[in-house]
Chains A and B, each alone.
Chain A
Amino acid sequence: MYSRAYKAIVSLPPLVWVGLFLLLPYALMFTHSFWAVRDGFLVHQWNLQNYRKLFENPVYAAVLLRTMRIAASVTLCSLLLGYPLAYYLSFYAAARKELLYQLVIVPLWVSYLVRGYAWKTILGSDGVLNGFLQYVHITREPVGFLLYSPFAVVLMLTHIYTPFVFLPIYASLEHIPRPLVEASQDLGASPRVTFFRVILPLSLPGLLAGATFAFLLSLGDFLAPMLVGGPSSTMIANIVQSLFGSAYDWPLGAAISACILMITISLLFLTERLEKHWSFK
């Protein structure tokens, strides 16, 4: 029913724009990763040196491993907080459901920076938590290890991604047909068995979507380590950032970015496959 002209008019501008301002920039990232820096200048000389450096220098692998560990911890913690909350809302909250749902959404809209800053003021050695601990006489000296540690990074990112993880899990729990749950109970299954054999398997697609989201976004974070992490929790994106800043080695930074990009895309591909496999029809 739509004419060729209509289709052309709606398709062309976004195609051209996205091609120019998204595809070309991402492609430039890849081409830079095959170039080099000589005497402080970028030279367009095709080579694989940057990737070789990544594999040969163990520092990069170590930081990538630490980044993965932090991202995995954030994912696990967000799931441990988000899943029970979603389960409670979906199955037990009854009349308060809508209000509680909106209460989970609100922090999603609150600035990332503001929430990171809040943790900084809480965890610092003269921060709110230390003030509280001394006030109730649990400790006498300020506890110094809270801020500027991988722990603080995991805590801050968990705080940010718990609502993100909650959303898809809640959606998938809400889509479970209640007669299935009732049937399981009627047939004599205990609540425990019903949860593990009926509810959990049916909510796996939502769980997977939330976990992927938390993992990928934590993986590329460079602000949390700068804000609350300190040197012991430098993540891979911090290295990229310094290579594009003070260290001035764009090609090497681009090579690391290209690796992050590849990890992201292959993980997305994998979860898409798994989700199709698990989704219930």
Chain B
Amino acid sequence: MTAVNATRRAPLLTVYSVLVFAFIYLPIIVLVVYSFNRDGVGGFPPKHLTLDWYRQLFADGPIWNSVLNSLMVAGGAVALSLALGLLAALALDRATFPGKALFRRLVLLPLILPGIITGLSLLMFAVFSGMQLSLLTVFLGHGTALISVATTELFAGLQKMDRAQEEASLDLGATPWQTFWRVTLPHLKLSLIAAGLLIFTLSMDEIAVTFFLTGRDNTLPLEIWGRLRRGITPEINAVSTLIFGVSVALIVIWYRIRTRGLGTATQELLEEP
């Protein structure tokens, strides 16, 4: 009998997989390499390595302004969507109310709908309710759209939780409030951190919804977008490389947390069935 899980050889498939990996990573590598290229983006091979573009980037006021705006929006979006996502997950897990099925679908809709639809709907709502477009509307938009991510992640966490512990806490005389703070929430710690990191990254990168909801202040992706329309310089490579670095750092943190928390979805995926 052939052991399925022993290393078997499939030379063609292996070569193909390597090529797919090359396709996935080549653009990113090109991007990073050309951020050090003195003569700009393009031309081959890259020569005259320099840090000038990074120097220029660090002296670039508008970019750092937009980074600050993005950080504020993302921080706010994390707080808002985690708070509402936690309640929504608890409601879906424990409460019954009319329209529950509709509610579940509605919450998840921004995850699967094209960003332009959600963005424009929120724009119409802002105009309809007389709100000025600003970073506040961007924050409300991100926070609302990303409730979907928080709810999915936290609902999965709740499903894995052993209800008996909450029961025990209540039976032993703790109030529901105490039980929530001292039993339920600590159980969800990993899900909360993972969801928070994911929401933060998604918000920092969001462009389709932001496009329609922003006023005069730019977020980082919109600032880059605006510059792309004017022409490309390695300075954009430099800032992209930094974004890439930060994303990778966040993934590493995320995986550290995930691997420590047993029984998470990723772990299950990796385990042998």
A-to-B contact residues, CB < 8 Å: 1-3, 5-8, 10-11, 13-15, 17-18, 21-26, 28-29, 32, 81-82, 84-85, 87-89, 91-92, 94-95, 97-98, 101-107, 109-115, 117-122, 124, 126-128, 130-132, 134-135, 159, 162-163, 170-171, 174-178, 181-182, 185-186, 213, 216-217, 219-223, 227, 237, 240-241, 244, 250, 253-254, 257, 260-261, 264, 268
In the complex, 16 of the A-B residue pairs with CB atoms within 8 angstroms, ordered by the A residue number, are: A7-B91, A14-B87, A18-B106, A29-B121, A82-B20, A106-B251, A107-B24, A109-B251, A111-B244, A118-B31, A124-B42, A176-B273, A216-B114, A220-B114, A250-B124, A264-B117
Whether A21 touches B122, Cβ cut-off 8 Å, given contacts A15-B91, A110-B247, A220-B116, is yes
Q: Which of A112, A121, A131, A221 has the most CB of B within 10 A?
A: A121
Instruction: For residue B121, give the distance in angstroms from its CB to the closest CB of chain A.
Output: 4
Docked Cα-Cα span, A18 to B113, in Å, equals: 16
Identify A88's interface contact among B13, B34, B113, B208, CB under 8 A.
Answer: B13
Q: Mark B17-30, 1 if CB is under 8 A from A, else 0.
A: 10011011111101
Determine the chain B residues whose CB is within 8 A of the CB of A135 once the complex forms.
Answer: 44-45
Give residues of chain B (121-135) contacting chain A, Cβ–Cβ below 8 Å.
Answer: 121-125, 128
Interface check B269, CB cutoff 8 A: yes
Docked Cα-Cα span, A22 to B145, in Å, equals: 8
Question: Are B84 and A114 neighbours in the complex by a CB distance under 8 Å?
Answer: no
Which bucket holds chain B's interface residue count? 35 or more
Determine the chain A residues whose CB is within 8 A of the CB of B10 once the complex forms.
Answer: 88, 92
Question: Are A98 and B270 neighbours in the complex by a CB distance under 8 Å?
Answer: yes
Q: Interface on chain B toward A: helix, strand, loop, or mixed SS? A: helix
Identify B270's interface contact among A21, A101, A112, A117, CB under 8 A.
Answer: A101
Q: Which of A15, A105, A250 has the most CB of B within 10 A?
A: A15
Question: Are A13 and B84 neighbours in the complex by a CB distance under 8 Å?
Answer: yes
Determine the chain A residues whose CB is within 8 A of the CB of B244 once the complex forms.
Answer: 110-111, 114
Docked Cα-Cα span, A85 to B23, in Å, equals: 12
Known pairs A28-B124, A159-B27; list 11 more (Cβ under 8 Å): A1-B166, A11-B87, A11-B97, A14-B107, A18-B88, A26-B109, A117-B228, A121-B237, A131-B43, A177-B273, A254-B120
Question: Are A121 and B30 neighbours in the complex by a CB distance under 8 Å?
Answer: yes
Docked Cα-Cα span, A136 to B205, in Å, equals: 36
Determine the chain A residues whose CB is within 8 A of the CB of B9 once the complex forms.
Answer: 92
Interface check B74, CB cutoff 8 A: no
Question: Are A84 and B5 neighbours in the complex by a CB distance under 8 Å?
Answer: no
Identify B16's interface contact among A84, A115, A186, CB under 8 A.
Answer: A84
Docked Cα-Cα span, A274 to B7, in Å, equals: 34
Whether A222 touches B116, Cβ cut-off 8 Å, given contacts A117-B240, A121-B31, A170-B269, is yes
Determine the chain A residues whose CB is within 8 A of the CB of B250 once the complex forms.
Answer: 109
Question: Are B95 and A2 neighbours in the complex by a CB distance under 8 Å?
Answer: yes
Question: Are A23 and B106 neighbours in the complex by a CB distance under 8 Å?
Answer: yes
Q: Which residue of A lies closest to B85 (CB)?
A: A14
Docked Cα-Cα span, A182 to B3, in Å, equals: 8
Question: Are A113 and B205 neighbours in the complex by a CB distance under 8 Å?
Answer: yes
Q: Mark B240-252, 1 if CB is under 8 A from A, else 0.
A: 1001100110110
Nearest 9 Cβ contacts at the A-B interface: A220-B114, A131-B44, A25-B121, A118-B27, A7-B95, A14-B88, A25-B125, A10-B90, A11-B91
Interface check B255, CB cutoff 8 A: yes
Determine the chain B residues whose CB is within 8 A of the CB of A170 once the complex forms.
Answer: 269
Instruction: For residue A76, give the distance in angstroms from its CB to the closest CB of chain B.
Output: 15
Question: Are B124 and A254 neighbours in the complex by a CB distance under 8 Å?
Answer: yes
Interface check B103, CB cutoff 8 A: yes
Whether A217 touches B4, Cβ cut-off 8 Å, given contacts A28-B124, A115-B27, is no
Question: Are B17 and A10 neighbours in the complex by a CB distance under 8 Å?
Answer: no
Determine the chain A residues whose CB is within 8 A of the CB of B115 once the complex forms.
Answer: 220
Q: Which residue of B lies closest to A1 (CB)?
A: B167
Whether A117 touches B224, Cβ cut-off 8 Å, given contacts A14-B87, A21-B140, A220-B117, is yes
Whether A118 touches B212, Cβ cut-off 8 Å, given contacts A22-B110, A81-B20, A257-B116, is no
Question: Are A237 and B269 neighbours in the complex by a CB distance under 8 Å?
Answer: no
Instruction: For residue B165, give the distance in angstroms from its CB to the closest CB of chain A.
Output: 12
Instruction: For residue A219, give the distance in angstroms from its CB to the closest CB of chain B.
Output: 7
Question: Are A237 and B2 neighbours in the complex by a CB distance under 8 Å?
Answer: no
Docked Cα-Cα span, A80 to B29, in Å, equals: 23
Question: Are B106 and A109 neighbours in the complex by a CB distance under 8 Å?
Answer: no
Q: Which residue of B lies closest to A237 (CB)?
A: B116
Question: Are A260 and B117 neighbours in the complex by a CB distance under 8 Å?
Answer: yes
Interface check B183, CB cutoff 8 A: no
Question: Are B84 and A131 neighbours in the complex by a CB distance under 8 Å?
Answer: no
